[in-house]
Amino acid sequence: MRLPDSPDLVIMGDPLLFQQHQQVSVDEIRTDDFQHNLKILMERQLEANGIGIAAPQIGWGARVLCIGISEEAKDRYPSAPDIPQSFWINPQVIEVSRETCWTWEGCLSVPGIRGWVNRPASVKVRGFDDQGATIEASLSGFAARVMLHEIDHLDGILFTGRIDDAKLMIPNVSMETQSSWPENWPTENARITPPGTIAKDR
Ligand code: ZN
């Protein structure tokens, strides 16, 4: 499958975002079409100022994702750390910490909404790079968060499905007034933690 040069972002409501997606073979990675799709995936992420994107979000049903936070892409998460731009193909979670953390997540496929989400604080991941070589990384903090969010997309899970309380889902217009929210609302840490940083407790 060869993506068009400028595919639309797939938005919540589309069944593609709720499906388990297929593994990719090493032979497939080396094809022209696959390499073209990788290029388009990264372009779409950067165009949208995203810090990560998964293939299903541009209509590509494959276990492929791209993450990275550059100085220029910090509009949506001004407080986030730098993360080098990289492709992950068939990423697999090898280990997660028992310790968890909380952060405000957003998603290019869920425009205008953020959610206060709990996930493992660190993660070890293995997969292929853009040439089909095996790569592995141990990530913690915000980088772990981005990776776990993107891997969820490959299994048809959106961050909204990880929110256990409707008051922890906030429109961006309300996020802009975060500093004036009532004390301890919607939780103590949700109020004081800016997007792009993490909190140890709810
Ligand atoms: Zn997402």
pLDDT at 168: 97
pLDDT at 81: 79
Among residues 47, 99, 105, 150, the one annotated as catalytic is 150
Q: Is 150 a catalytic residue?
A: yes
Q: How far apart are CA 47 and CA 43, in angstroms?
A: 6
Q: What residue segments make up the domains of the chain, in order of their start?
A: 15-192
Tell me the chain's radius of gyration from C-alpha atoms: 17
DSSP string, 129-187: -TTS-EEEEEEEHHHHHHHHHHHHHHTT--GGGG-SSGGGEEEHHHHTTGGGSPTT-S-
**pLDDT tens digits for range 145-201:** 999 999 999 999 999 999 999 999 999 999 999 999 999 999 999 999 999 899 999
**pLDDT tens digits for range 39-86:** 999 999 999 989 999 999 999 999 999 999 877 667 777 777 778 899
DSSP 9: P
156 CA to centre of ligand 1 in angstroms = 10
Cβ contact 66:52 at 8 Å: yes
- The class of domain 15-192 in CATH terms is alpha beta
pLDDT at 73: 65
| Average confidence score pLDDT of the chain | 95
Statement: the pTM of the whole predicted model exceeds 0.85: yes
127 CA to centre of ligand 1 in angstroms = 19
SS3 label, residue 113: strand
108 CA to centre of ligand 1 in angstroms = 6
113 CA to centre of ligand 1 in angstroms = 11
pLDDT at 100: 98
